[in-house]
Amino acid sequence: MRTIKILDTTLRDGEQTPGVSFTPEEKLKIAISLDEFGVDVIEAGSAITSPGEQESIRRIANEGLRAEISSYSRILKSDIDVTMKCDVDSIFLVTPTSRLHIKYKLGTTQGELLEKTLDCIDYCKDHGLIVDLCAEDGTRTEPEFLLRLMKEATEHKIDRYTIADTVGTAIPERIHEIFSILGKEAKIPLGVHCHDDLGMATANTVVAVNAGVSMVNVTVNGIGERAGNAPLEEVIMALKEGYGYNFRIKTEEILKLSKMVEKLCRIPVAPNKAIVGGNAFTHEAGIHVDGILKRSETYEAIKPESVGARRRFVLGKHVGTKSVRKMLEDDGIKANEQELREILKHIKYMGDKGKRVTNVDLQAIANSVRGVKIKRAIELDELVAVAGNKFTPIASVKLKIKDREVMESSTGTGPVDAAIKAIEHATRDLPFELTEYHVDSISGGTDAVVQVMVELKSKDRVITAQGAGTDIILASVNALVNGINLITGK
């Protein structure tokens, strides 16, 4: 099968997500990760935007990355001049082609537009740029005009021709029609740029590839204007798993990349998001867990390891005995059939009340059902946390660790961070790592009960624990202490 190339536009279209703005350092960090990941082209920004943007693009272009570095530009010589000052390899030269855009946005004609576009292409080529000509709103343009533009632009030596579904209005049949027509005549590689306004971005991108496109435009987590762009993770895995296309990238790094972008753009990935969502490989239902334990393909589309993710089993009202037994065994608890049924009853009861059931809850349930009393290895004795506008947040804790008193303090970015760090310092000899921290406000208002969920990792084992209350610092510390007791208690 063909090898498909990736143009990642997380740093340009992705940054046009409402509310998202990366610092130059963040942009460079993302660019380096994309390069290590193996994307072919990094669209680093739109040079004309601001001096800061130009600086960002220039730094990325001069970082010595393997990927081709590109900048977005309109068909204006002033834009192109600024782009060239950023030391990029290529230009993503955007020309609006639909009658709607030509008439109402530019107030010009097809003929004039064509002339201006070819003129700009010549200007870019004279200055040694690789030119990726993009037909903006291309999917709402007559194929005859797209074809004419492609033929003439090819004579003017463009390097790639990309059709953009700028407003996300295309359906797969339309995409297929356009690329079938262009594909027959194309002497240069074709690209596709899709948006998700109708939830079709991935499907349209895949259809375009099947019709001959060799360069897909994507963003990490599908961020982008309005409903976003075609998500990198979905496009790659759909093309690879569904059709057998090849990529020069490490799919095992997908989740890491997704998490990094999620953190830097401060837009949480929805739990039910394909490939990278928190629930993408999480199973609760008893029937599913039973099937997966026998053979993972029964209820998993792809192997979690193939994108660097991990399979998780969670507890709730849909669980069955087999998964509970497995989770108890992971905690070193061997319950008999009768105990198991009793434990399951408790879990379902909590689930029916709408409660989440963590590993710590499971252990507590199992212990009470089996009449086992376990002395907790770690207890919180004292906690003080101070924050304000004039000094660095600081917290100190006194813990009883196996009857020994340990005191520690730490500063942090806020009182919660300081308190968590103080606990981590006090328990530094214990083999665990805090891998996730999440807060939910259960009721509204400043006196709301918050629920803190933490995930801890120790070797291959991952467990969840929670703490709740109206005091977010105490709830956080309790969640962590509960988790440490479980993960280091065995």
Give whichever of 205 and 410 is closer to Mn ion, judged by the CB atom: 205
Task: Write down the least CB distance from residue 31 to Mn ion, Å.
Answer: 19
Decide whether 56 or 166 has the Cβ nearer to Mn ion: 166
In this structure, which amino acid lies at residue 420? I
Of 13 and 132, which has the nearer Cβ to Mn ion?
13
Which residue, 13 or 26, has its beta carbon nearer to Mn ion?
13
Least distance from Mn ion to the Cβ atom of residue 195, Å? 6
User: Closer to Mn ion at the Cβ: 13 or 79?
Assistant: 13
Nearer to Mn ion, 26 or 43 (CB): 43
In the bound complex, what is the minimum distance in angstroms from residue 456's beta carbon to Mn ion?
A: 40
Question: According to the binding rule CB under 5 A, does residue 165 interact with Mn ion?
Answer: no
Q: Is 196 a residue that touches Mn ion (CB under 5 A)?
A: no
Tokens of 72: 């977005």
Between 30 and 479, whose beta carbon lies closer to Mn ion? 30
Task: Compare residues 13 and 40 and give the one whose CB is closer to Mn ion.
Answer: 13
Binding flag, residue 8, Mn ion (CB under 5 A): no
| 15 touches Mn ion by CB under 5 A | no
- Is residue 26 a contact point for Mn ion (CB under 5 A)? no
Residue of minimal Cβ distance to Mn ion = 13
By the rule CB under 5 A, 417 interacts with Mn ion = no
* SS3 readout for the chain: CCECEEEECCCCCHHHCCCCCCCHHHHHHHHHHHHHHCCCEEEEEEHHHCHHHHHHHHHHHCCCCCCEEEEEEECCHHHHHHHHCCCCCEEEEEEECCHHHHHHHHCCCHHHHHHHHHHHHHHHHHCCCEEEEEEECHHHCCHHHHHHHHHHHHHCCCCEEEEEECCCCCCHHHHHHHHHHHHHHCCCCEEEEEECCCCCHHHHHHHHHHCCCCEEEEEHHHCCCCCCECEHHHHHHHHHHHHCCECCCCHHHHHHHHHHHHHHHCCCCCCCCCCCCCCCCEECCHHHHHHHHHCHHHCCCCCHHHHCCCCEECECCCCCHHHHHHHHHHCCCCCCHHHHHHHHHHHHHHHHCCCCECHHHHHHHHHHHCCCCCCCCEEEEEEEEECCCCCCCEEEEEEEECCEEEEEEEECCCHHHHHHHHHHHHCCCCCCEEEEEEEEECCCCCCCCEEEEEEEEECCEEEEEEEEECCHHHHHHHHHHHHHHHHCCC
Which x/- pattern, by CB under 5 A, does the window 284-323 give for Mn ion? ----------------------------------------
Applying CB under 5 A, among 8, 13, 136, 196 the residue interacting with Mn ion is 13
CB of 3 to Mn ion, least distance (A): 24
In this structure, how many other beta carbons lie within 10 angstroms of the beta carbon of residue 442? Answer: 10
From the CB of 470, what's the least distance to Mn ion, in Å?
A: 45
> What is the closest distance, in whole angstroms, from the C-beta atom of residue 96 to Mn ion in the complex?
12
Identify which range of 13-21, 144-152, 171-179, 268-276 contacts Mn ion by CB under 5 A: 13-21
Q: How many residues bind Mn ion (CB under 5 A)?
A: 1
Stretch that binds Mn ion, among 5-13, 115-123, 344-352, 478-486 (CB under 5 A): 5-13
Pairwise CA distance, residues 372 & 308, whole Å? 38
Q: What is the nearest approach in angstroms of Mn ion to the Cβ of residue 345? A: 53
For 251-262, letters b (16+ CB in 10 Å) and e give bebbbbbbebbb
46 or 117: CB nearest Mn ion: 46
Footprint of Mn ion on 336-365 (CB under 5 A): none
Considering the complex, what minimum distance in angstroms separates the CB of residue 26 from Mn ion? 20
Choices 10-18, 107-115, 263-271, 378-386; region in contact with Mn ion by CB under 5 A? 10-18
Closest distance to Mn ion from the beta carbon of 168 (Å)? 9
Q: How far is the CB of 427 from Mn ion (least distance, A)?
A: 48
Residue closer to Mn ion by CB (options 40, 225) is 225
Q: Which residues bind Mn ion (CB under 5 A)?
A: 13
